[in-house]
Structure 1
Amino acid sequence: MSSVNVSEDASPANINLKQLKEAIPAECFQSSATTSLLYLARDIIYAAALVYTALQIDSIPSPWLQAVAWLAYTFAQGCVGTGLWILAHECGHGAFSPYKGLNDFVGWVVHSFLLVPYFSWQITHARHHRYTGNIARDVVFVPPTETELKEGNHRLSKLLEHAEDTPLVTLARLVQFQLIGWQVYLVSNATAGKKSLPDTDNATTSSTTANHFTLTSRLFSPSQRWSVLLTDIGLLLTFGFLYFVSTRVGVKTTLLLYLVPYLWVHHWLVAITYLHHTHPDIPYHTEETWTFTKGAMGTVDRSCMGFIGRHFFHEIVDYHAVHHLFPKIPFYHAERATHAITPLMGDRYMEAKNESFLGSLYSTFKSCNYVAERRDEKNQAGTGQLFWVLKRE
C-alpha cells in the first residue's frame, strides 16, 4: 500500500465549502459546449477509427497475429469507451455544457450506447455525491462495519478467512469483482448503505426491487418513472443496433467489437471508483458526525495512470476530490481548481503517488476488509469516524 502525500500547508480543521469555493477561480466553474463537444468528437473519431481498423483484422494471414491485433483493439477501444463514459458522466452532473437539454441528450445517447442506464444512474449517482462517506446513506462501495459483522459471527469468520486468502484466491475474487461488480450493482443496489434508499413516503413502495431498470423500483420516486422509461428505451435501442450489426458482420465479430471493450470499460470504471473511495487513511462517518464537506474530502486523487489517465480518461483518476466538492466543474478545469484548494485543505487533501494502478487495486482489495469506529482514548466514546481494519500480515 502506497503512502499518501499531503499538502505541506496546514489548514483549519473546520474548513468549509464556501471558503473552498472562493479559492477557486470563477472561470473554473464555467463549462463550454464547444470544448466539450470537441472532446466528444475526438473520442468518437478514435472509436470509429478503431472499429474500421478492427474490421481488417481477419485479412491478416497469421491467426496468432490476428489474436494479438484483437487484444490490442479491445484494450484500446476499452480506453476510448471509458473516456466516452466519463463525458456522459459529465453530462449527468451538468458539467458538459451550460445547457441541460444538450447535456441530457448527449449523456443519454452516449451512456445508452455503452449500456449504462443514463437517467436512472444519474439519480442514484447524485445520492452518492450527496452522501459520500456516510456509512448509512452512501450508495457506492459502503463497507461492512465491525458491529454489523459481529451480529452474525459466521459472516465475520468468512470475512476474516477471505483476509487470509492466498494471492491466487484474492486475484480470482478481484477478477470477479471487476467483471460483474457494475452489473450486480445495477440490478441489486449492492454495496449501498442501509439507509441509501429514498424515504419511503416519497419512494415507490409497491415493489421490493431495487434495480436501475424497473419503473417501480424502490430506487425511484413515482415522479421519476418517466426518466426510467427513457433510460430503458435507450438501452433497447442499443440492443437493437447490436443485433443489426451482428446480422452484418456476425455474432463473433460483434462480440469482439463491442462486448470485450464493454468489459474493459466497466473494469476501469469499477476500479477507478473503488480506489477513489477506498484507502486505509480514508474514514467513513456515522450519520451523527457526517457532513457533506467531510464526505466529499474523503476521496483520494491518484496520479498513477500516466498518459492513458490524462488523455483517454480525461484526468478523472488524477483529480476527483474537487469533483466531489464541486461536481459542476468540467474536467478540463479540474487540475487548476485542485491546485487552488489544496493549500486550504492542507492534510485533508489526499493524493496517492508513486504507485501502480493495478498493484494498488490488488493491495487495497486484499487489505481493506471492514471498518470499525475509532474510540476516544480518554473517555472511550465513539468519535463518529470509522476506519478500515486491515488484513493482519
Structure 2
Amino acid sequence: MACRVADSMFLFMGPHQKPISVHKIAAHYSPGTSYWKWDGLVAKGIKRQQYLNSRRKIELVQAVAVPFSPAPADTAEYRKELSESYGFKQIGESLPKNVTLKDIIDTLPKKVFEIDDVKAWKSVLISVTSYALGLFMISKAPSYLLPLAWAFTGTAITGFFVIGHDCAHKSFSRNKLVEDIVGTLAFMPLIYPYEAWRFKHDRHHAKTNMLFEDTAWHPVWEEEIESSPALRKAIIYGYGPFRPWMSIAHWLMWHFDLNKFRPNEVKRVKISLACVFAFMLIGWPLIIYKTGIMGWIKFWLMPWLGYHFWMSTFTMVHHTAPHIPFKSSEEWNAAQAQLNGTVHCTYPRWIEILCHDINVHIPHHISSRIPSYNLRTAHKSLQENWGKYLNEATWNWRLMKTIMTICHVYNKEQNYVAFDQLAPEDSYPIKFLKKVMPDFA
C-alpha cells in the first residue's frame, strides 16, 4: 500500500522538491507492504491520468494502487527509492504469509526475556533523577531558556511512562504487586489511570494495525470528514499541525469512560481513576499553594505537554507510514502486523536514555514480555535473522512531514488519502505544513 500521490504529486516532486525524471509508475500491492513500481502504466482499470507540463516537458502520470505482485528483480531498488522519499533508512520486504509470530519469537535469544531487578530499578533512578534535575532547571532558568528546560523535563517524565509501560506488560519485576504499585505511581503525575491504560494497550498489542480493533492510532474515515464542515476542520487540524499533541484527545476519549471497559475490568479501572484524581486533588493544590497558578503552568503543565509531544510522536512513528496498512480482521496477519507494521526509529542518544529505549519498538511488538533494557539486544537478533523485513528510520523532518501531510484518510487500496485530495478547500493547514516543514532526512 502506498499513499495516494494523484493530486499532490508528492512522490514525483518528492521530499526534495525536485521533479523526478521517471515518466510512468504503477502501484503494486503485496500483503504486508505495497510498493510503487517504476515501469509502464497499467492499462486496464485506470482512467486517463496524464498531465502535461509543457514548460518543463515532463510527463506526469497519476497513480492508483492496483493489486499486483512486485517483480523480484526491481523490488529492492524501488524500496530504496521509496524509503528515501518517505524519510526511512529501510522499508522492509513483505513478510511471507506462512511465517508466524512464534517463528520469529523462537529466533530471539532467551536472555532477552529475563527480568533484571537491578536494571529495572536503575531505570527508575534515571527517571527520578532526570525529572528532579528538570524541575531544578525550570526553577533557575531565565525566561528565554525555559523552553529548553521544559523540553528536557517533558522528556524525563516520558521515562516515567515507559517504566509504567513495562509494569503493565509484566516485564518490570517478578513481583506483580510491585509492578502494579510502581506502574500506578509512575502514571500518576501524567494523569494516566494505570489499569485503564493497561487494558486498552493490551488490545493494541493483540490487534496492532487492525482496522477497527486497534486502540492506538487509526486512520480517519472518509465518512467522518464528510459528516459536517466543523468536524472536518477539527479533524484536519488534529491530524495535521496539532498531531504531535493528539495523544491528549486519545487520553481523554479512552481512559476515563467506564463504559469502554469490560465488566471484569471496571473495578481495577476505578482504583486507578481514584489514584489519578487523588493526585489532581492533592498534588495540584500543593503546587499552586507553593508557586501560584503560573508555577503550576511552569512546573507541571508545560512538562506534561512536552510528554504528550513524545507520546504522540513516538506512537505515530511506530505504526504510521504510507506503506504500512491497516487491515480488517479477516485479512490481518499477526506476524506481518508486528514485524512489517512496526517501525524502529532512532532518536538522539539523550532521548533514548531518558525514554529507556521505547523506540526500539519492533522487538517490543514481537513480544511485549521483553523488558525495555533488553530491547536493543533483541533488535540486534531481529536484524540478524529478519533484517530484510524491518522498517527502520532515524528521526528526521522528512519522516514527520510524510506522516503529517499524507497519512490521513483510510483507503483500502492505497492505505491513505491525504486531506488536501478529498477536501482541498478546508486543507489549508496541510498545505501550510507542506510549505513550511523542512525536508531534511
Q: Which residue of 2 aligns with 1:221?
A: 262
What's the offset of the Cα at 1:161? 9.3
Report the structure number with the largest CA radius of gyration. Answer: 2
Aligned AA (1:20):
I
Report the Cα distance in structure 2 between the residues aligned to 1:46 and 1:92, rounded to whole angstroms. Answer: 22
**1:302 corresponding residue in structure 2:** 345
Aligned to 2:118: 34
The residue type equivalent to 1:373 in the other structure is K
Is 1:331 the counterpart of 2:416? The answer is no
Give the 3-state SS of the residue equivalent to 2:188 in structure 1: helix
Is the contact made by 1:4 and 1:352 (CA closer than 8 Å) also made in structure 2?
A: yes
| Aligned position for 1:311 | 353
The aligned amino acid for 1:243 is P
Residues 209-256 of structure 1: per-residue CA shift (max 9 Å, x gap): xxx224xx2221222222112111211221111211211222211220
Contact kept, 8 Å, 1:11 with 1:343, in 2: the verdict is no
Of 289, 299, 306, which residue of structure 1 is paired with 2:331?
289
- Counterpart for residue 261 of structure 1: 303
Q: Go from structure 1 to structure 2 and tell me whether the alpha carbon gap of 1:96 and 1:309 turns closer, same or farther (over 3 Å shift).
A: same
Partner of 1:278: 320
Distance 1:152 1:312, change over 3 A: closer
Deviation of 1:183 (Å): 2.7
Seen in structure 2, the aligned counterparts of structure 1 residues 50 and 75 have a Cα distance that, compared at 3 Å, is same
Aligned to 2:243: 177
For residues 271-320 of structure 1, give each alpha carbon's deviation from its aligned partner in whole angstroms, at most 9, with x where no partner exists: 110111110111121211113222212111112x2113321122222x11
CA pair 157-187 structure 1, distance change in 2 beyond 3 A: closer
Partner of 1:123: 199
2:416 is matched with 388
The separation in 1 between residues aligned to 2:306 and 2:194, in whole angstroms, is 19
- Distance change >3 Å, CA 309–CA 45, structure 1 → 2: closer
Asked whether 1:187 is paired with 2:252, we answer yes
Q: Which ranges of structure 2 fall in alignment gaps of 5 or more residues?
A: 1-85, 422-433, 435-441
Provide the residue aligned with 1:366 in structure 2.
Answer: 405
Give 2:144's match in structure 1, choosing from 49, 54, 68: 68
Q: Which residue, 139, 151, 166 being the options, matches 1:90?
A: 166
1:153 to partner: Cα distance: 8.4
Deviation at 1:371, TM superposition (A): 2.9
Whole-Å Cα distance in 1 between the matches of residues 228 and 381 of structure 2? 43
2:118 partner amino acid: T
* Shift of residue 187, structure 1, vs aligned partner: 2.8
Moved over 4 A (4+): 10-13, 155-163, 390-393
The aligned residue for residue 208 of structure 1 is none
Work out whether 1:51 is the aligned partner of 2:110.
no
The code of the aligned residue for 1:349 comes to L
Shift of 1:329: 0.2
Change (3 A) 1:185 1:260: same
In the TM superposition, residue 156 of structure 1 has moved relative to its aligned partner by: 11
Per the alignment, residue 2 of structure 1 pairs with 87
- Structure 2 counterpart of 1:16: 100
Asked if structure 1 preserves the Cα contact closer than 8 Å seen for 2:239 and 2:408, the reply is no
Identity %: 21
Q: 1:153 to 1:306 in 2, by over 3 A?
A: closer
Give the 3 Å change call, closer, same or farther, for CA 328–246 of structure 1 in structure 2: same
Is the alpha carbon distance of 1:345 and 1:173 closer, same or farther for their aligned partners in structure 2, counting shifts above 3 Å?
A: closer
Give the AA of the match of 1:32: D
Between 1 and 2, higher relative CO (CA 8 Å, sep ≥ 6) is seen in 1
In 2 relative to 1, CA 160–262 (structure 1 residues): closer, same or farther, beyond 3 Å? Answer: closer
Per the alignment, do residues 343 and 387 of structure 1 end up closer, same or farther by CA in structure 2, a change over 3 Å counting?
farther
Q: Aligned-residue CA RMSD in angstroms?
A: 2.8
Which residue matches 2:226?
154
- Cα distance change on mapping 1:294 and 1:72 into 2, 3 Å: same
CA displacement at 1:174 relative to structure 2: 3.5
What TM-score comes out, normalization by structure 1 length?
0.77
Q: Find the aligned partners of 1:225 and 1:235 in 2 and give their Cα distance.
A: 15
Cα deviation, residue 370, structure 1: 2.1
Cα distance in 1 for residues equivalent to 2:158 and 2:240: 20
Q: 1:314 to 1:326 in 2, by over 3 A?
A: same
Q: Which amino acid aligns with 2:417?
A: V
Q: Cα–Cα, structure 1 residues 47 and 288, in superposed 2: closer, same or farther, change >3 Å?
A: same
Question: Structure 2 length normalisation: TM-score?
Answer: 0.69
8 Å contact 1:120–1:228 — kept in the other structure?
yes
Query: For structure 1, which runs of at least 5 residues remain unmatched after alignment?
Result: 58-65, 164-168, 190-211, 375-385
**In 2, Cα distance between equivalents of 1:279 and 1:40:** 32
Residue by residue over 1:3-53, the C-alpha shift from the partner in whole angstroms, topping out at 9 and shown as x without a partner, is 451569x97542212221221110100111221111101210121133234
Question: Distance in 1 between the 2:225 and 2:195 partners?
Answer: 39
Q: 2:293 aligns with which of 233, 243, 251?
A: 251
CA contact (8 A) 1:133 1:294 kept: no
* 1:242 counterpart (284, 305, 311): 284
Query: Conserved in 2, the CA contact under 8 Å of 1:24 and 1:340?
Result: yes
Q: Is 1:11–1:347's contact at 8 Å kept on the other side of the alignment?
A: no
Say how many residue pairs are matched. Answer: 334
- Structure 1 counterpart of 2:165, which letter? H
